[in-house]
Amino acid sequence: MKIRSAALLLLSAMLYGPLSSAEMDLREEAMNCNVVAFAPFMTEVTRERVIWFDDRRMEVDSMVQSIYEKGSRIFGSDDVERTKTGVKVRLKEPHDKELIEIFRPMYQRYREEHPEERPFIDFNLNMSWDVECRIVQFYQACLEDAAYCRAVNDAGSAFRMEAVDGQWLLIHNRSQEMFERSVRVGDMILRMARWIDEYLGSYDGETFVEEFELRLIIDHAERMSREIGMLQSGM
């Protein structure tokens, strides 16, 4: 990312001329999708929501890294992968009988389609900025050159770029109800990340890894089911 950002900054300087130190810093923040760096250009409500999400995002990211490190020590680094959405662990044993009983047709179909593949546990703990990266890049371009100033919106974004009383601002893009649901989902992801991290931390080093991974799958499925039930009930 740093190499790519440096190359883009060099190209920009060639095209538009040298930037001030503050402009350089803000452009790099936009390229690295540091959304919080644009908090001064947000409405108060937008700023509060963005900071809330980013705090959760960083805490989840820290938990995911801890899960990856603990998982690597337990299962071996070759069988643990940190992905864009969380952590994936390849199982030592397929546990077909037990997992078909738990997950029934979904797992059975997977095994029929991939009989030679070692199954995996996929801990999906994704909290990240996505289309918002594009919007802050547009906004940063607008700060440098008014020719780039225009309304920018995306239905999936937490905020949009819009002119208010002659000033371009970043404005929240979701109703209060949608935001409150996002809060519940974010809290659930963080609870799951903490639970997985603590569960891996409980490994005593003596239990057979094959036994531990099966218990982890069963207990994780039960915990996830409870969390989804709470989310759907609005708790």
Condensed to tens digits (0 to 9), the pLDDT of residues 169-194 reads: 999 999 999 999 999 999 999 999 99
Condensed to tens digits (0 to 9), the pLDDT of residues 70-98 reads: 999 999 999 999 999 999 999 998 888 88
- Integer CA distances (angstroms), 114 to 14, 60, 94, 149, in order: 52, 31, 11, 51
As a whole number of angstroms, the distance between CA 103 and CA 119 comes to 13
- The pLDDT of residue 20 is 53
Nearest to 114 by CA among 127, 124, 99: 99
Edge-first strand listing for the sheet containing 86-90: 80-82, 86-90, 120-124
- The pLDDT of residue 12 is 45
pLDDT value at 137 more than 60:
yes
Query: Using 50, 70 and 90 to split pLDDT, how confident is the model at 14?
Result: very low
Condensed to tens digits (0 to 9), the pLDDT of residues 3-12 reads: 333 444 444 4
To 10 degrees, the CA torsion angle through 9, 10, 11, 13? Answer: 90
